[in-house]
Amino acid sequence: MQRGAKYLLVLKIKQGSDKRRLTDNNELIRLFQQSGLLYLDEMIVPQTTIADIDMSKVSYYLTRIHKRESEIDFDMSEKLLNNLNIMKEGQLTLGGLLFFAKNPQKYRPAFCVKAVSFVGNSVGGNTYRSSQDIEGTIPQIFEETLRFFTTNMLYVQAGQNFNSVGQLEISLIALEELLQNALIHRDYSKNVPVRVMIFDHRIEIISPGALPNSLSIENIKLGNAVIRNNLLTSYGSKWMIYRGFGSGITRLLEVQPNIELINDVDEEQFKVIIPRPKNSIS
């Protein structure tokens, strides 16, 4: 039985002078997450099987752990997959699905990135330069979304000589950190995608789920972190450039200090706004 699943709760939350029963599954899940009783990425994804796993991705991950690509012959047994928390009880964990599946969106179609490069500065605009639904595992989505950024943004001279290759108008380090955070730390109890929007004057990255209750914008700017997704953090720290130390926000603000961070509790989302240079309209 999974952590948190053995608890059957009927909770009461006070709202003004009234009390109501808390029966919504998503609210219960979020309470379990916040209390540390439940990590959603450790839960199994129903109807998945070992056939859904791309074993080449598992092999690549193992070589990243051991740092030796050709010296180890791994036995891709179900026991190994269980030990890596890719599988439980014959089915994939959510973390296993999002890092090692052949097609994660077969079971979780909303866990993708919807990216749009708009003409103008309004999300209500009906004209765009580029639009893409980016799917795959988290590492694949990360790489493809970075390509979306770099192909829909400008490269500027930035004081270099004429023969130099231009620099991306917004720090690539900042974009990498923000995108990794959006994919690894988002709230996977919310069945909605991460949204990336490029406007003429700004870029927005919107991740499902506000910060956990104990965190604030001021906290994360100082390097404080609360892990929402244990497995994704572990896999990401070994597979990607992500390290999971909690220092990413501090680092990206050093290279791109004009970033605005918005913890939108009412809409249950985390929004990042990055102004573009005035000459960025193309």
141 and 135 Cβ atoms separated by less than 8 Å = yes
Residue 243 has what pLDDT?
Answer: 61
Cβ–Cβ under 8 Å, residues 97 and 112: no
Q: What are the percentages of helix, strand and coil residues in the chain, rounded to 5? A: 35, 20, 45
CATH numbers and ranges of domains, the chain: 11-38 (no CATH), 42-106 (no CATH), 113-275 (3.30.565.60)
Q: Is the pTM of this model over 0.85?
A: no
Closest CA to 247 of 183, 199, 181: 181
pLDDT-flagged residues of the chain (< 50): 1-23, 69-70
**Both tokens of residue 235?**
């896999």
How far is CA 176 from its chain centroid? 11
Q: Which residue type, as a one-letter code, is found at position 77?
A: S
Amino acid identity at 198 = I
